[in-house]
Structures are given as structure tokens and as C-alpha cells.
Structure 1
């Protein structure tokens, strides 16, 4: 009973049986109600013709004629005289009538609602009886006519019962096949789910149907594919974190061991300590960025929004980063319209710092960075363009992933841990904004941020 296949089969078979039983009783009731009137009219007509036959034959004797007519046209008769005595001999079918009913017919009443119980068949059956009054030479007689049950009726009923049984058997057999067809995709889904629970995400359920189960299978395959991508992202994330943490730790450990040697000169000692300090700061930045990214990915993290001047915020960030771009003698070209936005000021300060730091990092010496901020409709659009190496078009769909770097070799000359743009993307998405990358590889890159005002 715990199997869905068994339950489906039992439910369908139960429905078929209930339908057949209901249909049997309904059809039997309709048939009996209709047949009862037809049989009654037929018996009245046959009885009337028997009386008319006798009355139209002056030379005929009543009892022999009625005895001869009894049993014809699937009917059986019995004749009673004025004293209520039956006059016809039995012919295999007993027609016993209550004395009170005989008296009523002898008194001139026509009876059409009488029944008799036939026990000669395999099961008892109620058969209709009609009583017709008539007179011979002034003497009252009562003629009772009933239906003779024959083997054809029983064969017909047996055939009907056999038909119901065949319907039940064939229907149940087809239900067994249909249920297996219905349940098979669910069994496949169950097996695929078990494999997925064990960590195997490269599973795919075959889709051969377009109904609800086919849609469910397609959704499962899509879910398995996305879970596989998430698992791969998790593996990459762990690998990237290990790499980003491992490199500075290795440097710190190596130079710390070098400092233990007494032969180290003062110049080398200071250089080693400087490297250890820089690697420690790199680990600190990585830890802070990971914590910030984790907080931003929490959907219930509240935003401390307020209305402020966006153009003034960008100017302050440019000034704050002056030590970085002045050393490379980078020129800034600012075109900032006065813009008011409602956002989390601290988070967007981090957005402009990350984007500008990224542009400064990849802009060559004596290069140019252009920043524009304009209003279009009910949106604010900020563009930050540089004339650096640019970003290949095939890389642009991945640069916002954590730890993703266009520089596959992870050139140590270019500082960064690949989390800055991920943080930028999370902040902008949290404010219902959008960010995209434009430009041509080798001719610089443009980051365009669109924010609702």
C-alpha cells in the first residue's frame, strides 16, 4: 500500500468496479421499469385475444380452448369458474392466485398489478400477472395470464453479467499497464533524486512527455543542472579562497623563517618585514571582502537609505583615491550633473571605490579616466571609462563572479582578490539597479551603472 503504483491501480480498479455496479443497478432499474409496462400491455392484449377467440368461435368449448392457448406466445394462463376453482391443468408452470384476487376478478374488476414468484429458474424472479373478467352464458369467469420465463432470458442476463465481468477484467489489465506508464517517470525521478542526494548532480531524467509529469521532469533536469553549477561554483570558491589565502601565508611563513637567521642584513630584514606587512594587509582585505560579500548576499540585510547628492559622492571618492592615480599621472575627465538619489550612502561609496580602483589599476601611466553622471527619465546613469587593456567580450559574463579574474595567470603585479566587482554587483542589485561592461578589448573598458532615482 506504500507504493504509488499499487495505490493508483487500486484506486482505478475501485472506480471501475463502483462504476460497473452503479451502471448495473441503474440500467436494471431503467430496464425493469420500462419492461414492466411493455409486458403488462402484452399480457392484457394476449388475454383479451384469447377471450375474443373463444367468443368468436360458438362451437368451441371454453376449457379445452383455453388449455390449448395456454403456453402460446410465452404466456401461461389459468381459468377460474364462479366458485373460484381452477379449470386448467398445469403445464410445468404453477400459476397460483390468491382467492381474494380471484374473487375481485370474478366480480368484474380487471387486475394488472399482480406478481408471482417464479422459483423454477436458478434464482427467484417476480413475474407480472394480469386478471381479466368475462362471462359465458351469464356465468362469470376469471382469466389470469402471466409471463413464461424461458432460457433465453436467463442466457441474456448471464451474457450481461459476463460482459460486466469482461469489462472489469480487461479494464483492470489495461489499468495495470497504464498505471505503470504513469508511475514510471516518478520512479525515475525518485532514483534521480536519490543520486542527487548522494552528491551526483550530473543526472538527467529522460523527457518523452509534454504533460504535467513531463514538465516536472524538465524542471527537475533544470534544477539538477543549476545545482551542479552551484556545486562547481562552491568548489571553485573553495579553491580560490585556498589560493588567495595560501599565497600570502606561504610568503609570510617563508620570510618569517628567513628572519630567524642571524646573518640577515638590516636591508633584507626591512624588505622581508615589508613583504610580511603587505601580505598581512592582503589577508585582512580578503577577510573583510569575504565578510562584506556574505552580508550583502543575505536577502534580509536592511539598507540604511537616505537622500544625498550622487555627484558630490563621486567627487569625494576621486579625491580620496588621489594618491593612487597621481602616482600614475592619470588625468580625470568629470562630467557630473547634480543628481539626488535615495540609497545606502556607505554601500555606494564602496561601489565607486571598487570601480575607480579597478580602472586606476588597469589604466596605463599618463592614461585618462572619464566619469559621467546624467539623468535620463527617472534613472541616473553613471559611466566610468578608462583607456586600459579592456575586457574581452567573452569574459564579461563572468567578471562579477567571486574570485574571477581576466588574468588567468593571477599576475602578482596586479593586486586584487577578485571580490571587488562581486561586491559591486551585489550592492547594485540590492538597490534594483543594473551594471554592464562596454568597450573593446585593447581600447579600454566602460562600466555603466543605472540606478532608479
Structure 2
């Protein structure tokens, strides 16, 4: 229900309900415990005053600043009640009715002490303490207006303190929630600007979860900008790469149609058209496959590929096309997680790339979670290694700039890393399993 409201309104509602619950629950508890505490205090006061009266016959002089305590003596053998000088006979008779039943019960039960409180004819509450000493019953009494005033005063102080504490807590929570709302609004605005492709900055210097979210959003925005830039470059490169063979095919086809042969004869001119059509076909196929990998990467697969058998098959095919290149293999019986066709294209692209740069020797080594394809060609320029697996990054003898990006995307989606490493002589492409993958 509260989800419909803003955080500030939720805070006000929750804190209001909490405050009401505190008042409803705590105030009665405070009253009960405070009354019990005051009762205990009143009986202790009566006990001290009574002891002074019993042992020292001390009765305080009546004062307007302190509550008067009255004392009486009851002689059960004579059934006589004697009161102290600080009270009249009429007061003594009126107060006698308050404790008479308890006094009779004490005498009958031989009980030595008893304290309680009762009401006089005027409805006022009176605390009394009855103590038996040497067959004489001493009764001490005090009116409750003192305790009532004390309870009311303490209660009011506690309630005031509670209200102040609730107000302080409410202000602190409100300020704290406001400190959360401000960055959340900044994040919301930032996301809106991203969705509308507007320039926006997000500066939130926090180390809590909000700071982590904001840092993740900034990293996401940077990655989006990076991907957009890559897409723009891809579109530019694609249009440029496609334009040349299409223009050549159109011009040569028109020439042949007009019985004009740019390469001297019909067959030679048609070979040029076919060559560029194949080049165009390979380019389109690579682009389609690269996009297809995005779809495949969203699908979970538990399939495994026999990499030893796969590499042996690829080497057998390519060796026949390049008999002048020596290919040495050291292959263990190892399986990689993933699709057979995806890994075939991945390994083919690396080996074909090696054939373009190799001098005379290629070595392929396969072991658990590790594949290395080495060639003894020229090392990669240091500045090019980091960007080597990005789309349309071509080496000096590269063709389309898509082969190694297909390799990178294939390895990544199956939980593997691929790196290019320069050696003193030659270059290795190494595929290893990521540590956090099972």
C-alpha cells in the first residue's frame, strides 16, 4: 500500500504510526510502573516515620511545605485507639474507617506488619502502614495528594522527554531520508537523460549502496557510449567496404552487358565480378554471424565440444590448402563448453589469421581449459594488441576486421578469455577458462 507514495510520505506515515504505537503502549506502562514505584516510596516513607514514632515518640510539626504524616496507637486488650497530637478526634475517627478491617484481620491472624491504601469518606486516597510492636499496633497514615502530584509531575516529565525524543528521532530520520532522496532523484534524472540520448553527468560521492549503484550507472553509460561509437564506426566501415565491391560489380556487369571487357576478355572480366561477389558474400556472412552470436549468447547450453577432434579436422582441411606451412600439434583429450559450430569458426579464424602472418611454422597446443595457437610471424604492434579483438580492427594483412572479434565474442559467451601474446619470435593466441567459471 505504501509503495504508491514517495519515500518522504512513507516516512511520515510510518513514523506517525510508530509514534502513536509508542504513546498507546508506553504511556500505560509508564503509568503502571511509576505508580508502583511511588507506592513503594510512600510505604518506605511511612515506615521511616513510624520507626521514629515508635522508638523516639517523634511526630513532625505540621508544615505547609511537607505532607503531614499521622500516627495512631491501638491497644487490643483495652480496645483503645490513641492518636498523636497532630490530628483531632474527628480526623482520627474518620481515618479509623480506612484501616479498621485490615487492623482487625491483623489482630486475628497475628500478623506483624501490613501496608495498603484506601479511601476516606471524602473519596481521598490514603496510604497506611500497620505494625505490631509489644502487643501495641502502630498505624501511620498519609494522604495521597503528595504521591498524586509526584506521579503527575514525573509522568509529565517523562511524556515531555518522550515527545522531545520522538521529535529529535523524527528530524534525524527525515534528514537522513532526504539525503537518500536527493541522490535517487539525481539517478532518476540521469537515467531519463540516458534514455533520451542527452548529455548528462552524475556526481554522487558516497560509498554505500547508492554510491555503488551510481558508479555502476556511470560505468554502464560509458560502456553504452563506447558501444555506440563502435556501432557508428562499424556502420561507416560496413558502408565503405560494401560500397567498393558493389560499385565494381555494377560497373563491370554494365560493361560486359555492353560487350566491353575491362580485363581484356569476357572470362577475365567475369572472374573479377565473381571474386568481388564472393568477397561481398563473405563480408555479409561474417556480419550476420557476428550478430547471430549476440542471440546465441543469451541461451544457456551445457553442451561440450571435443576440441581435439575438432582441431584435427580443421588442421587436416587447412593443411591441404597450405602445404608449404608446417603445422605441429600437441593435443590432449579435452572438451570445451559450447556449441561445436561456434568453436569451429572460432578456431578456424585464429588459424586462418596465423596463415596470413606465418613464415614457416604453426604450433597448436591443447590441454585442460587451455588452447594456444602459435605462429612464427612478425609480432603484433604493441598499440594494436588491446584493440585487436574489436570489430573492424585490421592487422597489416587483415581482410575484413571481423574474424578476431568473432573469436572474442565466442570465447566470452562460453566463459573463456582470449589474449594475443608477442614472443621474441612469433605470436601466440591463447584461450583460457575464466577463473569464476565452473
TM-score normalised by the shorter chain: which range applies?
0.7 to 0.9
- Establish whether residue 251 from structure 1 lines up as the match of residue 234 from structure 2: no
1:150 to partner: Cα distance: 8.0
Matches within 5 A, 1:45-444: 45-47=48-50, 49=52, 69=62, 73-75=66-68, 77=70, 88=88, 99=97, 101-102=99-100, 104-105=102-103, 112-116=115-119, 127-130=125-128, 132=130, 144-149=141-146, 153=150, 154-200=152-198, 203-259=200-256, 261=258, 267=264, 272-297=269-294, 298-299=296-297, 300=299, 305-306=305-306, 308-309=308-309, 312-313=312-313, 315-322=315-322, 331-337=324-330, 339-342=332-335, 347=342, 349-362=344-357, 368-374=359-365, 378=368, 381-388=371-378, 390-406=379-395, 416-429=399-412, 434-439=417-422
In the superposition, relative to structure 1, how do residues 4 and 215 fare at CA in structure 2: closer, same or farther (>3 Å)? same
Kept after mapping to 2: 8 A contact 1:43/1:75:
no
Change (3 A) 1:77 1:405: same
Q: In structure 2, how many angstroms separate the alpha carbons of the residues matched to 1:195 and 1:387?
A: 49
Q: Is the 8 A contact 2:99 2:118 kept in 1?
A: no
1:8 to 8, 11, 26: 11
1:34 to 29, 37, 47: 37
Give the CA deviation at 1:309. Answer: 4.5
TM-score computed with the length of structure 1 as normaliser = 0.70
TM-score, normalised via structure 2 length: 0.72
2-side partners of 1:118 and 1:159: how far apart?
32
Task: Assess if the C-alpha contact under 8 Å between 1:400 and 1:421 holds in 2.
Answer: yes
Give per-residue Cα distances to partners, 1:275-334, cap 9 Å, x unaligned. 332222122112222333334441337657347556743542333423xxx8xxxx4233
Matched residue of 1:114: which SS? strand
Secondary structure at the aligned position of 2:364 is classed as: strand
CA contact under 8 A between 1:371 and 1:382: conserved in structure 2?
no
SS in 2 for 1:74: coil
- Rounded to whole Å, the distance in 1 between the matches of 2:98 and 2:125 is 19
Q: Which residue of 2 aligns with 1:447?
A: 428
- Distance change (3 Å), C-alpha of 1:127 and 1:178: farther
Q: CA deviation at 1:399?
A: 1.8
Q: CA deviation at 1:394?
A: 1.4
